[in-house]
């Protein structure tokens, strides 16, 4: 009986992996929380993100603004790869886990943005409710495989 259970479990796991290979999940963000900032500072970060996109006119990047003084994203061929969200008590910066494959240039932008901000320590992040990608998210990202060439940005 136990043998059938393990065989069925293994078969289900293979089916999940195969489904992920056929229909990759959207990229999972890896968030980092930072101390809250004022309007001028947020506007400066926003301008830097816009300059990043504008300096790469035909590389597939797009600046998407959800709320002028609260949230913006950078998309790579329609897929979000960087999110900056200003919440009441903190700032949340997220970069998709597949950014190194999909849009490696955004890793430099992330470093520039992070350099200008003061991170929350781990306890502050937990208390603020900053979500952390779980191991399963990271495993599914690995199993989804390579990003197709046509879905990448920054490659001419």
pLDDT digits (tens, 9 = 90+) for 23-32: 444 454 456 8
pTM listed for this prediction: 0.69
In a domain, 114, yes or no: yes
140 assigned to some structural domain: no
Using one digit for the tens of pLDDT, what is the confidence trace for 44-64?
999 999 999 999 988 999 999
Residue 13 belongs to a domain: no
Domain count, the chain: 1
Q: Which domain range does residue 84 map to?
A: 27-133
Residue 103 has pLDDT above 70, yes or no: yes
Read off the CATH number of the domain in which 96 is found: 3.30.310
* Residue 145 forms part of a structural domain: no
Answer whether residue 100 is part of any domain. yes
Evaluate whether residue 18 is within a structural domain. no
Question: Does residue 117 form part of some domain?
Answer: yes
- Residue environment code for 14-41, b if the CB has 16+ CB neighbours within 10 A, otherwise e: eeeeeebeeebeebbbbbbbbebbeeee
């Amino acid at each position: 009986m136990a043998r059938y259970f393990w065989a069925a479990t293994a078969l289900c796991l293979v089916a999940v992996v195969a489904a992920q290979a056929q229909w990759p999940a959207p990229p999972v963000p890896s968030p980092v929380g930072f101390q809250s900032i004022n309007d001028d500072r947020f506007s400066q970060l926003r301008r830097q993100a816009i300059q990043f996109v504008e300096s790469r006119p035909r590389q597939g990047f797009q600046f998407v603004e959800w709320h002028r003084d609260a949230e913006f994203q950078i998309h790579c061929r329609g897929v979000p790869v960087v999110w900056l969200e200003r919440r009441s008590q903190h700032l949340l910066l997220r970069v998709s886990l597949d950014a190194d494959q999909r849009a490696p240039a955004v890793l430099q932008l992330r470093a520039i943005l992070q350099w200008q901000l003061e991170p929350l320590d781990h306890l502050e992040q937990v208390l603020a409710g900053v979500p952390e990608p779980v191991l399963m998210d990271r495993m599914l990202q690995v199993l989804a495989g390579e990003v197709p060439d046509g879905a990448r940005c920054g490659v001419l």
